[in-house]
A and B are shown apart, each in its own frame.
Chain A
């Protein structure tokens, strides 16, 4: 899994590329923790290139969302591929976290 980061209008966009599973989820957890520790609690996970997410990945997303909320911010998701979106829907994550079909939609909703 590759993780890239950019900041747009005080939102840290974390772009995921590849599989978020038991072997890569710890890297994502550390990345999100680092972002939050730098004082950024508005995070958008751009999932356009994420092609798989397991339970370990889902747990890390939840931990990240909780950290952002505790810091007064929010973790949002956007652009999930069909299979990952289906996993997120079945597991109820999309009823708990804010999801947007496009990155622009997420940033517009934030501003």
Chain B
């Protein structure tokens, strides 16, 4: 099974293997949320409206998750979910991204290509070799959002991340998205970590818009 970070990386890459812009430009919050979700689903942490607690310090075997788990376990200052999203996002999330990409390459889903542009600058891209996994992720999201069935908690969490990143418009047509909106609004509250990621990014977006509105031309 892919981690949340790996699944979201598949959606962050376009067909060409370049990174798509995320809502509010806040990919680090998405990745931090993804790591916390993986720890929660691995039964290492638990959350409620006010706390995030460490349940089990036994390593998961995934270095990124275990690094975050050790950080949470060693922390002397209790934090809520939002506090941990902000803390992990404030660290080097490039490592989370690189590890997710490396894992997807190792599984034969992506490949790494170095390309030069303007004859000088190098850019690394990650084109898809095997698109089945990404299609399966998109299909799962689409199935949950366009039906009234009770969703799987993992799908709910993933939808929260995809919604927070602003990628639902890449999965659905405008008409489908309009039809799915009430369902998205219902599901985005059902995963606490996902809900908090969405709230943080919405706040960043509002701050950017306010700054743009008051800045002189």
Residues of A within 8 A of B (CB): 21-23, 26, 52, 54-56, 58-59, 62-63, 65-66, 69, 87, 90-93, 95-97
Interface residues in B143-174 by Cβ distance below 8 A to A read: 149-153, 156
B136 at the interface (CB under 8 A from A): no
**16 residue pairs A–B, Cβ–Cβ below 8 Å:** A22-B46, A22-B53, A52-B48, A54-B46, A54-B47, A55-B46, A55-B193, A56-B46, A58-B190, A62-B151, A62-B153, A66-B150, A92-B186, A92-B187, A93-B190, A96-B150
Interface residues in B181-217 by Cβ distance below 8 A to A read: 186-187, 189-193, 195
List, in ascending order, chain B residues with CB within 8 A of A65's CB: 150
B55 at the interface (CB under 8 A from A): yes
Verify B43–A69 contact, CB threshold 8 A. Answer: no
Query: Taking the nearest CB of chain A, how far is it from the CB of B143, in angstroms?
Result: 13
Verify A54–B150 contact, CB threshold 8 A. Answer: no
A91 to B81, CA, bound (A): 14
List, in ascending order, chain B residues with CB within 8 A of A63's CB: 152-153
Verify B151–A55 contact, CB threshold 8 A. Answer: no
Tell me what chain A mostly uses at the interface: helix, strand, loop, or mixed: helix
Verify A92–B190 contact, CB threshold 8 A. Answer: yes
B49 at the interface (CB under 8 A from A): yes
Residues of B within 8 A of A (CB): 40, 43, 45-49, 53, 55, 149-153, 156, 186-187, 189-193, 195
Verify B149–A69 contact, CB threshold 8 A. Answer: yes
Verify B40–A62 contact, CB threshold 8 A. Answer: no
Looking at the complex, which one of B46, B48, B153, B186 makes contact with A87 (CB distance below 8 Å)? Answer: B48
A63 to B55, CA, bound (A): 20
List, in ascending order, chain B residues with CB within 8 A of A90's CB: 49, 189
A91 to B49, CA, bound (A): 9
Verify B190–A26 contact, CB threshold 8 A. Answer: no
A56 to B46, CA, bound (A): 6
List, in ascending order, chain B residues with CB within 8 A of A97's CB: 150
Verify B43–A56 contact, CB threshold 8 A. Answer: yes
Residue of A nearest to B55 (CB): A22
| Given A23-B55, A54-B48, A95-B186 contact (CB < 8 Å) | yes
